[in-house]
Structure 1
């Protein structure tokens, strides 16, 4: 009976899977067009799955091994099942290979089952708790029914009651595995995830690449189109596909600083809400952690309904610091930050509902070219006694020092003066733009105002065209990122360095000699826009090491560094939570026993120094280097610095 029924069962399940897949694809295609290379994407998908995706999964060795056994065993088993039981290929070695793959899958499923006995809070429950049992049933059932074909049991094996038991197991296993792929079960991520990797909106991320710059909003041909994303159908179709690929593992949730601070954001819940909007319905069946302070079951929407009018609250979108911890940690390589900024663009450009001091800040950027409304002519006041060469006078220099808006802040001015001292000591041929420099546009862009960003960027690019220089160096990771990764879309391509990288080059070239630093224990805080956005982790540590500093590393360091809370306009939108993100980061610092935290970002300095004392001292690496320079004039007095 089983031998006769199996081919028809397989055919029936595959037909239903195909119907579900067509339905799922139609949901994705409701999104805006996005150009992809169909053939190249499909050809690249296996490598992206086996190499790029598993580079992320492999950070958790146990889960990586579990996934290799379970997923690899299933794919191999399914292929062999179709040959042995679907097409009736009579080959004992194929059947024995099928036995082996089901054993591998069963072993992986046992590990999944153990993990689900006491799952961490970040994992979604509900149907996901059923999945390990279904995996075990699928593997065990097909192992048993394949024994006769492998020549281990006689052909008549599996009759009577046993046949009905095995048949029930086959139906249950195939139902979970195949129907779930196309009809929104837990296995949906296998189908959507494979296509997501093939048609990813950032293919540059694969093969060891990096792609972190926001996509340019086309303002010239917008016409009647909505600026940004108002409803799910305004996302590109491959963004919708990416949301559907979510495996609800909660790694993003565990890394999100806003979620940890009790602000109303959970990146996993946000992606699942996008899936609700994609398919229509409510979040009543969501079985994971909610947004802090918000109940599950209240969100509802559809592909053509405005997202912030029932599906996701505006404050959820504004709580994000754009630190990319969620993106960095996601094993399915979903782009959470892109989606959040796309939705912010609608709120800012179409609705004008930027919260907190957002509207005032954007008005300041438009009127004065800086976020705090300072007199543009005062940008060089901090350097009145520095005798800085200005590009308008010299026309050409090896290094263009991009000062950024730290020029208007007294604390940041100390960092700028320290870096100038370093460059003068190393006899660097540098110049500044002076009053010709404008805000780089990072803040406007993260607040969703791409129009103001593009205006600032285009005007800066026109100024830069007038002068000759080899590279741009800045002490601001946000300006570093934007100039390096987002200006090229507007025609401004430059070699841009962060000051820690530049200082390290000077040390390696012997142009700077540093005394060994004495004093207390030092730890280093990785800025998000330097580390996760641009992969720069080594240069700051190399500079500290050159001063004889042995770092006491924080548990959350490197690519898992915790955000200071200062990115993405978060201090301006000021969404309340249970704690301040900067306070949590300072707790990380205190846990090392360090007396000094070295930083490489003016924004991080401001956020960490805003933590109530007692706390470790906060120093920029430029300040630390300037204090250890060999054979230089005495450091400026506190009165001179101020």
Structure 2
């Protein structure tokens, strides 16, 4: 009886799954065109899955092994089941591997069952709670149905009742696993996820052998000359089709939710819920079927959307509230943790672009900052001619006077902030101690455009960037060095699309290089316990975690690491113009970060970003003082001259007598 029922069941399920796949693809194709390398992308899927995706999944060893057993067992069992029970091919030979694959899958499903017995808050419930049972039903049904095939049981063993029971078990599993992949359900991520890996919007994120470079974090530029191209995303169908595909690949694991600083602070953002809302908008309907954590203080069931309808409605029911989009700090923690490699930040900025460029609805001080950038080339609205007033006593070389230099020191808009001026002075002291040939643009330097771009004003960003590129093209230098990770990121990763290609270093990286080259000497630091806060735009965006720690180690500092450090560092709350839009929550993100500091017992927090300095120093009753890496280095310098008035050059024959500067 099984010989008759199973082939019918298998091929009916495959036909229905194919119809579901066609329907699913039509949903994705509502999005705007996006060219992809079709066959090369498909060929890269195995490596992207086994290497790049599992590199993220493997951060949780237990679930990584569970996923390998369950997913790997299912894929192998499904293929062999079609060959053995569907086509009756090589039953005696392939039956044993099918038996083994089913057994491995069953073992994995037991771990999934254990995980779902008391799931953490970040995991979605609802249909996901039945998934372990479906996995067990499929694997156990196939396993028992294969026993006669390999001769463990006689071919005519059992009654029609047993045959019907096994068929029902297999049918239950097939309904969830085969049909669910394309018609919707917990297994939808398997089908969409595989194609998402093939046609990813950022193929550069994958390892070189998978057709990428291993990192891609710069926002993609809008073509402002194309009158047909939308200025940002107003409706779900304004996303590219492979962005919609990426949203559909979400496995609802909640890893993004667990690391989101805005969600932890009680602001109305949950990156997992946001992605699921995009899926709702793509298909049409409400969020009533969502079974995970809601946006803080925003109930489930009140949001509705459709492919052609506005995502953020100005009146009536909306798919997403504007405050949800403006809560994001663009820290990229969600993207870093996502095992499906979904690009949450890209989607949020795309939607911000429409709100800013088309509706002019940037909240709080956002509009004022944009007006300042347009009028004065800096977000604070300061007189551009006053950019170098703070350095009147430093006799800095200007590029317009010297024409070329080894290093172009990019000062950033921290020049208008008295606290950051201390950092810049410390960095200049270090550069002069190392006899670096450097110069600055002075009044020719404009804001890098980072704030404008994160606020969604792509036009102002491109205007600033193009003018900066035109200025830089007049001079010769080997590299740009800056103490601002936001400027560092934009200059290094986002000016390229507009024609500006430069070698850019964060000041911590450059100081580490100078020390390793023997151009700097330090005394040992003996002034308390130090912890280090990783800036998002230096760490997660650009992969630089070691250089700042290397500098601190050179000073004899044994860093007391916070629990959330490195690629899991908690954001300071100042990125993505979040300090400007200032969406309220239950607590402040920098307060949470300083609580992380308090847990280490550190007296000092080493930072490498003016935004981080401002946010962390703004915490009331701070448990530790905040100092930039450059300040640590400058305070521990062993230099060859007591005078910093005249910048030494490589050819200087200054006195070789040394003194300790403390």
Is 1:333 the equivalent of 2:337? no
Give the SS at the match of 2:307. Answer: coil
Give, in angstroms, the shift of residue 634 of structure 1: 6.5
Match of 1:206 in 2: 206
Give, in angstroms, the shift of residue 165 of structure 1: 1.2
Give the SS at the match of 2:266. Answer: coil
User: Which residue of the other structure, out of 478, 489, 494, is the alignment partner of 1:481?
Assistant: 489
In structure 2, C-alpha distance between the alignment counterparts of 1:157 and 1:71, rounded to whole Å: 30
In structure 2, C-alpha distance between the alignment counterparts of 1:634 and 1:166, rounded to whole Å: 87
User: Which residue of the other structure, out of 537, 540, 565, is the alignment partner of 1:532?
Assistant: 540
In structure 2, C-alpha distance between the alignment counterparts of 1:407 and 1:607, rounded to whole Å: 17
In structure 2, C-alpha distance between the alignment counterparts of 1:297 and 1:587, rounded to whole Å: 35
Give, in angstroms, the shift of residue 175 of structure 1: 0.2
**Aligned pairs (5 A) from 1:133-172:** 133-172=133-172
Give, in angstroms, the shift of residue 224 of structure 1: 4.3
Match of 2:261 in 1: 257
User: Which residue of the other structure, out of 510, 513, 526, is the alignment partner of 2:521?
Assistant: 513
The two structures have a TM-score, normalised by structure 1, of 0.98
**Aligned pairs (5 A) from 1:460-475:** 460-475=468-483
Q: Point out the more displaced range, 83-92 or 303-312.
A: 83-92
Give the SS at the match of 2:401. Answer: helix
User: Which residue of the other structure, out of 536, 546, 552, is the alignment partner of 2:554?
Assistant: 546
Match of 2:120 in 1: 120
User: Which residue of the other structure, out of 305, 309, 314, is the alignment partner of 1:305?
Assistant: 309
User: Which residue of the other structure, out of 505, 515, 524, is the alignment partner of 1:497?
Assistant: 505
Match of 1:640 in 2: none
Can you give the 5+ residue segments of structure 2 that lack an aligned partner in the other structure? Answer: 208-212, 645-662
Give the SS at the match of 2:358. Answer: helix
Match of 1:283 in 2: 287
Kept in 2, the 8 Å contact 1:321–1:567? The answer is yes
Deviations 1:81-136 (A, max 9, x none): 01000101143121011000000000000000000000000000000000000000
Give the SS at the match of 1:568. Answer: helix
Is 1:430 the equivalent of 2:438? yes
Kept in 2, the 8 Å contact 1:2–1:158? The answer is no
Match of 1:273 in 2: 277
Can you give the 5+ residue segments of structure 1 that lack an aligned partner in the other structure? Answer: 637-642
Is 1:611 the equivalent of 2:610? no
Give, in angstroms, the shift of residue 633 of structure 1: 6.1
Is 1:55 the equivalent of 2:55? yes
Kept in 1, the 8 Å contact 2:331–2:576? The answer is yes
Kept in 2, the 8 Å contact 1:627–1:635? The answer is no
Deviations 1:527-561 (A, max 9, x none): 00000000000000000000000010000000000
Match of 1:591 in 2: 599
Which structure 1 residue ranges, 4+ long, deviate > 3 Å from structure 2? Answer: 631-636
Kept in 2, the 8 Å contact 1:17–1:181? The answer is yes
Match of 2:657 in 1: none
Kept in 2, the 8 Å contact 1:226–1:350? The answer is no
In structure 1, C-alpha distance between the alignment counterparts of 2:402 and 2:166, rounded to whole Å: 84
Match of 2:196 in 1: 196
Give the SS at the match of 2:478. Answer: strand
In structure 2, C-alpha distance between the alignment counterparts of 1:158 and 1:461, rounded to whole Å: 79
Match of 1:295 in 2: 299
In structure 1, C-alpha distance between the alignment counterparts of 2:539 and 2:11, rounded to whole Å: 50
Give, in angstroms, the shift of residue 635 of structure 1: 10
In structure 2, C-alpha distance between the alignment counterparts of 1:132 and 1:274, rounded to whole Å: 26
Match of 2:590 in 1: 582
Kept in 2, the 8 Å contact 1:90–1:149? The answer is no
Match of 2:105 in 1: 105
In structure 1, C-alpha distance between the alignment counterparts of 2:89 and 2:518, rounded to whole Å: 71
Give the SS at the match of 1:630. Answer: strand
Deviations 1:592-636 (A, max 9, x none): 000000000000000000001242010001001100001366699
In structure 2, C-alpha distance between the alignment counterparts of 1:166 and 1:123, rounded to whole Å: 31
